[in-house]
Amino acid sequence: MHELSLAEGVLQIVEDAAREQKFLRVRTVVLEIGRLSSVESEAMRFCFDAVACGTLAEGATLEVIEAPGEGLCFSCGKTVPLAALYDPCPACGGYPVQATGGTGMRVRELEVE
């Protein structure tokens, strides 16, 4: 389950922000997860709750926003919405389609005290 190490990374980002900006508690973490990132939102929530125990993020809500997948079709040259990696181009049916969006994960916002 790679979500555990990802959750630890998110917590590190939160703790670094707390040191820089001098806040003591996190109420909400807004996390953007790309549709093509292979990160399961529910597993991420579970893991974040586990790693946040005993930290300034304990009890914080993890809100997940899904970023849509997007790709560049090498056959027709269009940028197209992409539901899954290695899918054919929805415009022309061609291959390959290189993912250009929705592959990452980032902390978008923190609500703090």
Question: How far is 23 from 99, CA to CA, in rounded Å?
Answer: 37
Whole-model pTM: value is: 0.87
| pLDDT tens, residue by residue, 72-81 | 999 999 999 9
**How far, rounded to the nearest angstrom, does the alpha carbon of residue 51 sit from its chain's CA centroid?**
17
| Cα angle value 101/9/105 (rounded, 5°) | 10
Domains and CATH numbers, the chain: 3-112 (3.30.2320.80)
Question: How far is 89 from 106, CA to CA, in rounded Å?
Answer: 26
Mean pLDDT for the stretch of residues 41-62? 97
| Residues β-bridged to residue 112 | 26
7: number of Cβ within 10 Å: 24
**How far, rounded to the nearest angstrom, does the alpha carbon of residue 97 sit from its chain's CA centroid?**
21
In this prediction, residue 1 carries a pLDDT of 56
In this prediction, residue 58 carries a pLDDT of 97
Instruction: Report H helices in the chain.
Output: 3-21, 41-52
